[in-house]
Amino acid sequence: MKLSVVIPIYNEEENIQLLYDELKGVLQGIDRPYEIVFIDDGSSDRSLELLESIQQQDNHVVVVSFRRNFGQTAAMAAGFDYATGEVIVTMDGDLQNDPHDIPGLLAKMDEGYDLVSGWRFNRQDAFINRKLPSMIANKIISKVTGVHLHDYGCTLKIFHKEITKGIQLYGEMHRFIPAIASGMGSRIAEVKVNHRPRRFGTSKYGISRTIRVILDLLTVKFLLSYATRPIQVFGMLGIISGGLGFIIALVLTIERQFFGMPLANRPILLLAVLLIFMGMQFISMGLLGELQARTYHEAQGKPIYTVRKILRKE
Ligand code: UDP
Ligand code: MG
């Protein structure tokens, strides 16, 4: 089974040659055909030049160069599109991931997993603005998606190409590949991997990533749980809200009609009206969602299930 190593590169000029040499050493030691797919994500330094010269000398190397910077998620998505191997390894281009972990990940995968994710248990990044938010984010993501990993942020992962076929990546969603894959019924494992401090270049992210990740989590959760049945979420909210509003309005009406209590001085009337309106909106949103879900699945010919294998007599 051919191995494709996908590496996003954005302004990593000092790291590229070292990474390539180290990675090549490791891959030559593994008895499988391989390729290295570098995605140059619109680098403004000499990265592309260096990648081109490596590619000239080594026909295991593929370079995809973006017209501008589209972000790490887009770079990885391109890597999946252009990779020709059956097994895909993803890793960072900044030497923080250790190529020597690849054989270990492969061995774990051969135990029968579809995806093996790295866990940077001795992560070499600043504590306050990187490790702490990441710890909290990992807890939340694990809880919400039900896929319990210690380290969602680790780019070093290995999986069958199959998995990428059903996954469309947007925003910062490359880190949710395990959660999405698990939603499609994949078997997932986690293995401890080495992590090294960044020696050259600078990190491309700051603290604001945490918020963006949480927002993406919201999308992923919705897509995983309710994308095929939006009316069940919005309809439920609509019924609760509308029902509550209806009850309050009913009580007010009875009091007004049969007991002569004035309505004008009852602020709760406003609440009833608000709840009924919200209920109607939720239900219409759910119905629109149902239409959208049909367009989404039927326009792409995308089934609402995923099949592992089919057993039948010819
Ligand atoms: N990267 C990219 N496009 C971007 C930002 C980052 O391709 O817009 C690449 C970057 O070159 C590196 C990897 O994604 O190979 C991870 O980035 P970084 O090391 O900055 O993230 P950190 O390790 O600090 O989380
Ligand atoms: Mg890094």
93 and 187 fall within a common domain: yes
Q: Whose CA is nearest to atom 22 of ligand 1?
A: 203
d(Cα 248, Cα 240) in Å, to the nearest integer? 12
Pocket of ligand 1 (CB under 6 A): 8-10, 12, 41, 69, 71-72, 75, 92-94, 96, 203-205
Average pLDDT value for residue range 79-107: 96
218 and 253 fall within a common domain: no
Ligand nearest, relative to CA of residue 42: 1
176: containing domain:
3-226
d(Cα 172, Cα 216) in Å, to the nearest integer? 7
92 and 60 fall within a common domain: yes
290 and 210 fall within a common domain: no
pLDDT tens, residue by residue, 7-60 = 999 999 999 999 999 999 999 999 999 999 999 999 999 999 999 999 999 999
Residue 305 domain flag = no
Provide the pLDDT confidence category of residue 277 given band limits of 50, 70 and 90. very high
Provide the pLDDT confidence category of residue 282 given band limits of 50, 70 and 90. very high
Q: Which of 177, 207, 226 is at the close of a domain?
A: 226
d(Cα 280, Cα 12) in Å, to the nearest integer? 53
210 and 263 fall within a common domain: no
201 and 241 fall within a common domain: no
248 and 214 fall within a common domain: no
137 and 283 fall within a common domain: no
Ligand nearest, relative to CA of residue 45: 1
Is the per-residue pLDDT at 5 higher than 90? yes
Q: Which of 226, 244, 260 is at the close of a domain?
A: 226
Q: Which of 211, 226, 241 is at the close of a domain?
A: 226
Q: Whose CA is nearest to atom 15 of ligand 1?
A: 93
221 and 270 fall within a common domain: no
293 and 174 fall within a common domain: no
Phi and psi at residue 246, in whole multiples of 5°? -65, -45
d(Cα 57, Cα 161) in Å, to the nearest integer? 27
129 and 175 fall within a common domain: yes
Six-digit token string for 312: 């039948």
Residue 8 domain flag = yes
Average pLDDT value for residue range 233-262: 96
Is the per-residue pLDDT at 305 higher than 90? no
Average pLDDT value for residue range 129-141: 92
Specify the ligand 1 atom closest to the Cα of 39.
Answer: 7
188 and 247 fall within a common domain: no
Q: Which residues contact 14 (CB under 8 A, 6 or more apart)?
A: 199, 200, 201
What is the value of pTM for the model shown? 0.87
Please count the structural domains in the chain.
2
Phi and psi at residue 36, in whole multiples of 5°? -115, 120
Is the per-residue pLDDT at 110 higher than 90? yes
Six-digit token string for 25: 């050493």
Phi and psi at residue 66, in whole multiples of 5°? -75, 155
Q: Whose CA is nearest to atom 18 of ligand 1?
A: 203
Is the per-residue pLDDT at 295 higher than 80? yes
Contact 51, 63 (CB under 8 A): yes
